[in-house]
Amino acid sequence: MFDTFLEAFYNKVFVNILVKRSSTDVYIEIRSKKGVIDHFSESFNTTILSSQLLEFINFYTKESPYFYISFLDISPEQGALPTCEKNRLGFYGDVSASEYKCHDNKWTYYTAKTDLYAMEKRYAKIGVDFVFSPYSVLSNFFKDKISTTLAMYLLVQDSFISLSVFDNGTLLYAEQLDMETISEDADEILASMDDEEEISLDIEQSINLEDIMQDLADFGDIEVTTAEPHETSFNEDYQRFSLIQTSLSHFYNNEKYDSTFVEAVYIADAVGVSSDFKHYLEEEMFLNVYLRRIDINMEVCSLAQKELKS
């Protein structure tokens, strides 16, 4: 009761931290009972709690005792399983070394305990209040579609792709795809490119697209078309496509999952994927592609506010 009384005199400060491949984004939202008062964002060229990052956060959190530190889970050892029954979890995977939680009494998301403990230690100076699964972010972001539409749903970050398949609100399959992991086939393609020549996709430089296209044609039954260079490199575009293709094939061929043919994909795009990536999914996997830009930190902030209300 006393805490509730004091709370009326202070604003709430939501600090949302997204650790990326080589940088950290911080989004801060200050709220009163009436709504958002102000918001601030900053990007830091570090993946640790540097003095500059700490100073930026402390500047805002010192103004109120009611501040909440939220992270998006970036553990590669995480995922989601299509059940909440504890005796069924082991059928889909070993979660004995993971923390896991049932979502909406329908499916379970999990993450490695060691990664959570490491995060708590790394950010001990500011504390960790919430760590949100990318699958929670994905299901909330596409809640208008997931409940009614059979489709594949992707959250695309610079280092990870969170892939899931939902059918009218029921999770059928999910896999966390690590961009640092390249399939053997894709590795061979990239290696062959390096042997041919050093390829630059800088818009202001000329490139030999003919050699690149021949490398792809040698790989298999891939229809090759010439495309203009984009901000996202060719390597990353093809790597994302390759990982998704392999994962969906696993869904179709693994008897553990209630597989059904997927015709559409909804993409929550946090990096600005190129038209090449969209083209691969449409032309090589015959998918109808729907793209939405997402600000992950704002989505995490929204989930943190929901947690406080629940």
Distances (CA, A) of 258 to 47, 125, 249, 251, 276: 39, 45, 13, 8, 31
For residue 102, is it within any domain?
no
Residue 203: pLDDT over 70: no
CA distance 288 to 310: 36
Distances (CA, A) of 283 to 198, 221, 276: 27, 12, 10
For residue 199, is it within any domain?
yes
- In this prediction, residue 310 carries a pLDDT of 79
For residue 93, is it within any domain?
no
Nearest of 174, 163, 184, 155 to residue 273 by alpha carbon: 155
Tens-digit pLDDT profile for residues 91-148: 999 999 999 999 999 999 999 999 999 999 999 999 999 999 999 999 999 999 999 9
For residue 77, is it within any domain?
no
Tens-digit pLDDT profile for residues 20-70: 999 999 999 999 988 999 999 999 999 999 999 999 999 999 989 999 999
Residue 172: pLDDT over 70: yes
Domain that holds residue 265: 184-293
Tens-digit pLDDT profile for residues 144-166: 999 999 999 999 999 999 999 99
Q: 3-state class of 266 per DSSP?
A: strand
- Which residue's structure tokens are 């950010």? 123
For residue 72, is it within any domain?
no
For residue 253, is it within any domain?
yes
For residue 67, is it within any domain?
no
Predicted structure pTM score: 0.82
DSSP H or E stretch at residue 294: none
Task: Give the 3-state secondary structure percentages of the chain, helix then strand then coil, rounded to 5.
Answer: 35, 30, 35
Number of domains in the chain: 1
Nearest of 30, 16, 43 to residue 126 by alpha carbon: 16
Contact 40, 65 (CB under 8 A): no
For residue 289, is it within any domain?
yes
Contact 279, 225 (CB under 8 A): yes
Residue 194: pLDDT over 90: no
Three-state secondary structure readout of 18-45: EECCCCEEEEEEEEECCEEEEEEEEEEC
Mean pLDDT (the chain, rounded): 86
